[in-house]
Amino acid sequence: MNIIDDIILHSPALIVAIPLLGAFLTPLVSKINDKLRNIFVIFIVLFTSAIVLLLANDIYLVCGKIHTYVFGGNAPITEGGFAIRILFEVDGLNIFMALIATILAIAGVIYSWAFMKENTGLDKYYTLYLLMIAGMYGMILTGDMFNFFVFLEITSIASCALIAFWTNKGKAIDAGFKYIVVSATGALFVLFAIAILYGQYNALNMAVLASKIQFSFLDKIALVILISGLAMKAGIVPMHMWLPDAYGRAPASVTLILVGVTQASLYGALRMIFTLYGGKLTTTMNQIGDVSIDLNLVLGIFIVGLALLTIFIGVLMALKENNFKRMIAFAAVAEIGYMILAIGAALTTVFSTNDAGTGMMALKGGVFHILNDALDVGLLFLVAGAIYYATKETSLNQLGGLARNMKYTTIFFLIGLLAVSGMPPMNGFASKLIIYESTYQVNPILSIIAILCSILLLAVFVKVFHSAFLGPKLPKFDNVKEVPKSMLLAMGIIATIIIFIGLFPDMVVNYIVQPAVNALTNNSNYISNVIGGI
């Protein structure tokens, strides 16, 4: 047995443990030298990424493989199904989310190097930054409900402090406060739901719970609370209002990771719906005449309704907004809407016998869009950060003519603009195409609204392009220079991945998205694999 196999065996633990340890070592390292600290943090993130890639390679080699990792040595004591040990599990969906987190984390630390250079208190910044990354990985990889809550709280607290990092600007503290109130409320409700489930089934392990769940009245309450709590963390309208505040005030490098954290919450909701309640989703809830109303139908329609609201309100607010970062935040809200639109549409059809293909396709589009949204919105936030770095302005009313001074940033912005509004040949088009061409089978209105809002998104960012980059040369920006290389490198990494996915969408769908969708829909495989592994 060589060292690579060992690393893969322990990789789920290592992926969380290395950034966590790194976080607590960072203050010590920064006592020595600032540059050494930056190198140390980048090394930690790159090392973690390497492990994620190794694990991903391992997972994708065998179709439908689930990697389980039990903490604390031997198999957990199972007495009447009571699984004591904490358990991490990695299937197609987990590794998909972990890959997204990895891309964001790498871009984030590289970007931070120059972007945060002029700030003080950077040892604390990097400590919290690594904590946030560790928490994000934890949320994604864990197979245990309570553990999920713990990581949710770790990310919440770390990100709250980072949102308020620019304390010299009072509004940042305001945003941090709002964030902690909202996320603490959401997390406590999640904890409440976990307690309900624990009280009934004596188990915290997701697989054990999934195999036992009965769909009693209490389970319904737990489902309602879990989904609402995680939906608030994911920023779904009308619970999205914290998101522009937090995204808008945080440093751009932090916002990038916040996008990942939001996606991780969305992943949590997906996991709860499809895996935890997956077996019971087709339970008939009510019978009116000949028509039986199934749970998946009610849930699907409710989610689709929320999604349409999310897309529409997100994009309309973005159109009106004049603060660059708040605008992108509203656009991010709308993008989340596309994912849950696909997921809701999939819920209504994926369990039926004659229309399952549509549901699978919609789910594919939705999951694919998680990846694309993280990259597109992330890139735009980095561009917004770059503009802030160069001009110290975030209000679009004050900007203008920057395309002359900042050529590379302009090109990266154009790539982000085309990708986020789903223009061909960027990655956004591929996933939106799948979403349009599957949801129209459920109801044509869904794809009509989706197409319309995609064009509105284009209008939103064309406005940014005009007001920040084009127009006459403004005398006050004569001395503005292109941003430092590390920031360009971070934007370049994301832009390259965007173009790669845009040019080879079918390959990405086949190799990365399909396993994730299979993992979502096949919850019996999950249960048998994880429980069998104990």
Within residues 158-177, the interface with other proteins by CB under 8 A covers 177
Q: CB of 274: closest distance to other proteins in angstroms? A: 17
Residue 510, interface with other proteins (CB under 8 A)?
A: yes
Chosen residue from 41, 203, 239, 530 binding other proteins by CB under 8 A: 239
Residue 77, interface with other proteins (CB under 8 A)?
A: no
Toward other proteins, which CB reaches closer, 4 or 448?
448
Chosen residue from 167, 214, 284, 286 binding other proteins by CB under 8 A: 286
Residue 437, interface with other proteins (CB under 8 A)?
A: yes
Residue 403, interface with other proteins (CB under 8 A)?
A: yes
CA atoms within 13 A on the CB side of 317: 22
Chosen residue from 80, 290, 475, 481 binding other proteins by CB under 8 A: 475
Q: CB of 432: closest distance to other proteins in angstroms? A: 8
For residues 104 and 45, is the Cβ–Cβ distance under 8 A?
no
Tracing tokens 């195999």 back to the chain, one arrives at: 211
Chosen residue from 65, 465, 521, 525 binding other proteins by CB under 8 A: 465
Residue 247, interface with other proteins (CB under 8 A)?
A: no
Q: Which residues contact 461 (CB under 8 A, 6 or more apart)?
A: 331, 380, 416, 417, 420, 421
In sequence order, the β-bridge partners of residue 90 are 67
Residue 280, interface with other proteins (CB under 8 A)?
A: no
Toward other proteins, which CB reaches closer, 121 or 425?
425
Residue 469, interface with other proteins (CB under 8 A)?
A: yes
Residue 401, interface with other proteins (CB under 8 A)?
A: yes
Q: CB of 80: closest distance to other proteins in angstroms? A: 29
What backbone torsions phi and psi does residue 75 show, to the nearest 5 degrees? -60, 145
Q: Report the C-alpha gap between 57 and 197 in whole angstroms.
A: 34
x/- site string to other proteins, residues 441 to 460, per CB under 8 A?
Answer: x--xx-xx--xx--xx-xx-
Toward other proteins, which CB reaches closer, 114 or 222?
222
The 3-class secondary structure across 198-262, one letter per residue, is HHHHCCCEHHHHHHHCCCCHHHHHHHHHHHHHHHHHHCCCCCCCHHHHHHHHCCHHHHHHHHHHH
| Residue 70, amino acid | V
Stretch that binds other proteins, among 64-72, 100-108, 213-221, 515-523 (CB under 8 A): 213-221
Size of the site for other proteins (CB under 8 A): 93
Residue 451, judged by CB atoms within 10 A of its CB (0-12, 13-18, 19+), counts as: middle
Residue 65, interface with other proteins (CB under 8 A)?
A: no
Cα three-residue angle 140-145-149, rounded to 5 degrees: 70
Tracing tokens 């790539």 back to the chain, one arrives at: 415
Within residues 249-278, the interface with other proteins by CB under 8 A covers none
| Eight-state DSSP code of residue 65 | -
Residue 182, interface with other proteins (CB under 8 A)?
A: yes
297-303, Cβ contacts within 8 angstroms, sequence gap of 24 or more = 297/347, 297/348, 299/273, 299/344, 299/347, 300/344, 300/345, 300/346, 300/347, 300/348, 300/349, 301/344, 301/348, 302/344, 303/340, 303/343, 303/344, 303/347
Q: CB of 397: closest distance to other proteins in angstroms? A: 5
Stretch that binds other proteins, among 91-99, 161-169, 419-427, 514-522 (CB under 8 A): 419-427
Chosen residue from 471, 485, 496, 532 binding other proteins by CB under 8 A: 471
Q: Report the C-alpha gap between 210 and 90 in whole angstroms.
A: 16
x/- site string to other proteins, residues 348 to 367, per CB under 8 A?
Answer: ---------xx--x---x--
**Where does 65-144 have alpha helices with state H?**
92-115, 122-141
Toward other proteins, which CB reaches closer, 320 or 392?
320
Four-residue CA torsion sign, 91, 497, 315, 164: positive
Chosen residue from 429, 488, 490, 518 binding other proteins by CB under 8 A: 429
Q: CB of 183: closest distance to other proteins in angstroms? A: 11
